[in-house]
Amino acid sequence: MMDPRPKMLIPRGPPGPNAGGVGRGTDDCLAGEPPAHELQQLKLSPATSKTPSEVPTITRVPMKRPDGGGKDCERRIELQVNHFKLEFNPNVNIFHYDIDIRLEKPQNPNAVVRVSKSDAVSVRSKLSSEEPSSFPISKTSYDGEKNIYSAVELPTGKFKVTISEAEEMRPRTYTVSINLVKTLQLGVLDACLKGTGQSVPRDILQAMDIVMRENPSRTQITMGRKFYSKSSDPNGDKNSDRSRGIGDGIIACRGSQQSLKVTSQGLSLCADYTVMPFRKPLPVLEFLRENLNIQFDEWMPLNENLIGKVARALEGLKVTLTHRNTTQKFKVMGLTELKTSSITFHLKEADNASSERKVTLVNYYVEKYNRYIRYKNLPCLDLSKGRMKNYVPMEFCVLVEGQRYPKDDLSKDAEKKLRNMSLVGPMERKQRICDTVNSANYGPCGGEIARQFGITVSRAMTQVTGRVLSPPALKLGSAKNQRTLLRPEQNGQYNLRSHKVVDGKDITRWGILDFSQHWSIKGPYTSLDVKKFTEAFIQRCKRLGIRMENNLFYKRSSMDILSNPKALSDLLKHVYHDVAKGHLQILFCPMAEKHEGYKTLKRICETEIGIMTQCLFEHSFQ
């Protein structure tokens, strides 16, 4: 088959000073240097050199379309695509600044302290609130890393910012260095879109993308390039439409993803609809009750099995504290080995730093915070950081909002609810995308930030004309070995009765892995009649022009193994490597009913092992 892609010929330019093989090019390095006497015999031929005017001009010709240039179709329909035309003022300049944030006097002077993205955003907000005239937050956009884009010129140099997260904690001081990188002229992008410029300026597109993401990132949960609604809207009212509980302490949040694209109509904002499961921002004990179905008792400790489940459910999550006034977030490193009532430590006296006394954690919370620990038989959360030990009872910890929940860990009921929220109809999907783009609270043009940069977005989707293509005709054979064209019936399906395939491939190595053995209230399902199934399938393939030999093996299993991915993987690998000796064309898998393990079976066979499978219901064959 010829390659349909267009070819582009690159003519040779005039020979340079190293023409004729004197220079050390790539080929010279591979082949080795020629002898010196051969080099001396080489001469430049004046006949081979050409002037720049004689070099042929490269002309790019679009590849011809096979469908009459887009004219062949049954009918045309008007469509709406999720592109919103973006307009901008070509006379506006965007100032690009580099920002460097460093912590002053870290605990370990030799350690490299990396400022987190959340801390960097807090520092930038504090700097804008302290000096609003010099750093207007409504006219700047920040990517949370090293780049700030501003609609006005900002002062450059070094600035001090002090942030206090808790009453008893020492304030932290940061040094902020701001330097101008480049002045981006939107007129350059405008010239490119009109065809008078050169390549698309990527730095300007990046700046405009950060500007369009600024307002959503301030008001919503940010996950990469996606934004999700919080448990309450910007006004603090509960918003059940944009977020919905799906059980097990999990909430499904509707959101959007957006990007800027250069299209035939100019610059467009491409927006789409998405849904993501998050952990509810609940007190830790309440979340464990919903997620793990654990009923906590003040007097009964947890057994080792439950402690392991709690540790796996909480490890790596971030929490805030309720027993003291602080906005600081702590990462859960694990659980303490001892229960709360057994934890003791040495506390320095307030009036004498050299004197220490041994106290229990329970008494310390009463003396320090006037808080009585209710669940003394539960382990504490280990919130230590480095050498600083920090053990906090679970009842004083609350999960931070915006912590993603793995989809693979969802229960069947929660997964079904999430799927129903995600797979909405086209009209509802369109409405939700438009509501997001046009929202004054969480949309890309909300907060008047984009307008400060001279950017506006159309409120309506882009209209395009679509073509409904005719269904293809299949080239098949017939009983008389004649070639025929088969077209679909009224319902769009192809009827292969009395037809053969043009070139049938022999099926010589195939097997049956029977999952139809299953018990229910009515008793066991009828087992598969292997002989009847094999004979019927071979005859059906013969009528289609495919030669099929008897099956290599038949192995019986049960529907229960589909619920155990590890056991299912071991079974399939055993069948392929040991039973089929590593060579199997297709594996038939009869099943008693629909099962969630079907997806696991397909994933293991097609991505891990490399087996082609065909699943079918046993009762449909019977």
Greatest CA separation for the chain: 106
Q: Which long-range contacts (CB under 8 A, 24 or more apart) does 338-345 make?
A: 338/379, 339/301, 339/376, 339/377, 339/378, 339/379, 340/373, 340/375, 340/376, 340/377, 340/378, 340/379, 340/380, 340/393, 341/376, 341/377, 343/380, 343/391, 345/389
Domain-embedded: residue 364: yes
In whole angstroms, give the CA distance from residue 248 to residue 232.
19
Domain-embedded: residue 426: no
Query: Alpha helices, DSSP H only, in 294-440?
Result: 304-314, 361-369, 412-422, 426-438
The more confidently predicted of residues 533 and 106 is 533
Residue 29 confidence (pLDDT) above 80? no
Question: Which of 355, 375, 400 is the C-terminal boundary of a domain?
Answer: 400
Matching residue, tokens 């053969």: 500
Residue type, position 121, single letter: V
Bridge partners, 176 (sequence order): 101, 159
In whole angstroms, give the CA distance from residue 285 to residue 307.
13
Q: Report yes or no: 283 and 398 within 8 Å, Cβ to Cβ.
A: yes
Q: Of the ranges 300-304, 368-372, 501-505, which one carries the lowest mean pLDDT score?
A: 501-505
Band (pLDDT 50/70/90 cuts) for residue 108 is low
Domain that holds residue 346: 284-400
Residue 7 confidence (pLDDT) above 80? no
In whole angstroms, give the CA distance from residue 195 to residue 460.
26
Domain-embedded: residue 419: no
Show the CA angle centred on residue 551, arms to residues 550 and 556, nearest 5°: 145
Q: Of the ranges 12-16, 178-182, 429-433, 519-523, which one carries the lowest mean pLDDT score?
A: 12-16
Q: Virtual CA dihedral for 370, 372, 373, 374, nearest 10 degrees?
A: -150
Q: What is the pLDDT of residues 442-464, one digit of tens each?
A: 899 888 899 999 999 999 999 99
Question: Which of 372, 400, 428 is the C-terminal boundary of a domain?
Answer: 400
The more confidently predicted of residues 621 and 179 is 179
Q: What is the pLDDT of residues 116-174, one digit of tens each?
A: 888 899 999 999 999 999 999 999 999 989 999 999 999 999 999 998 876 666 788 99
Q: Virtual CA dihedral for 34, 35, 39, 40, nearest 10 degrees?
A: 180
Residue type, position 390, single letter: N
Band (pLDDT 50/70/90 cuts) for residue 528 is confident
Q: Answer whether 0.75 is exceeded by the pTM.
A: no
In whole angstroms, give the CA distance from residue 94 to residue 58.
36
CATH code, 293: 2.170.260.10
Q: Which residues contact 325 (CB under 8 A, 6 or more apart)?
A: 166, 167
- At 497 the pLDDT is 78
Band (pLDDT 50/70/90 cuts) for residue 100 is very high
For the ranges 188-197, 315-324, 508-517, the maximum mean pLDDT occurs at 315-324
Kind of pairing between the strands at 510-514 and 586-591:
parallel
- Per-chain mean pLDDT for the chain: 83
Domain-embedded: residue 8: yes
Closest CA to 568 of 593, 530, 595, 592: 595
Closest CA to 614 of 588, 592, 593, 584: 588
Report the SS3 class of residue 180: strand
Domain-embedded: residue 245: no
Band (pLDDT 50/70/90 cuts) for residue 596 is confident
The DSSP call for residue 394 is G
Domain-embedded: residue 113: no
- At 573 the pLDDT is 93
In whole angstroms, give the CA distance from residue 454 to residue 90.
8
For residue 174, which phi and psi values (nearest 5 degrees)? Answer: -120, 145
In whole angstroms, give the CA distance from residue 459 to residue 85.
8
Helices (H) and strands (E) in the chain, counts: 15, 31
In whole angstroms, give the CA distance from residue 206 to residue 208.
6
Q: Which residues contact 526 (CB under 8 A, 6 or more apart)?
A: 516, 618, 619, 622
* Token pair recorded at residue 403: 């912590």
Question: Which of 376, 400, 424 is the C-terminal boundary of a domain?
Answer: 400
SS3 content of the chain, % helix, strand, coil (to 5): 30, 30, 40
- At 22 the pLDDT is 36
Residue type, position 307, single letter: I
Bridge partners, 344 (sequence order): 360
Domain-embedded: residue 566: yes
Q: Alpha carbon 106 to chain centroid distance?
A: 35
Domain-embedded: residue 38: yes
- At 592 the pLDDT is 83
The DSSP call for residue 360 is E
The secondary element (H helix, E strand) that includes residue 586 is strand 586-591
Number of domains in the chain: 3
Positive/negative CA dihedral, 305, 309, 310, 315 = positive
> What is the mean pLDDT of the segment spanning 529-557?
87
- At 19 the pLDDT is 39
Closest CA to 385 of 313, 333, 425, 335: 333
Band (pLDDT 50/70/90 cuts) for residue 8 is very low
Q: What is the pLDDT of residues 176-209, one digit of tens each?
A: 999 999 999 999 999 999 888 778 899 999 999 9
Q: What is the DSSP string of 589-604?
A: EEESS--THHHHHHHI
CATH code, 606: 3.40.50.2300
User: What is the CB neighbour count within 10 angstroms for residue 154?
Assistant: 16
Task: Write b or e for each residue in 297-316: b if 16 or more Cβ atoms lie within 10 A of its Cβ, otherwise e.
Answer: eeeeebeeeebeebeebbee
In whole angstroms, give the CA distance from residue 283 to residue 322.
9
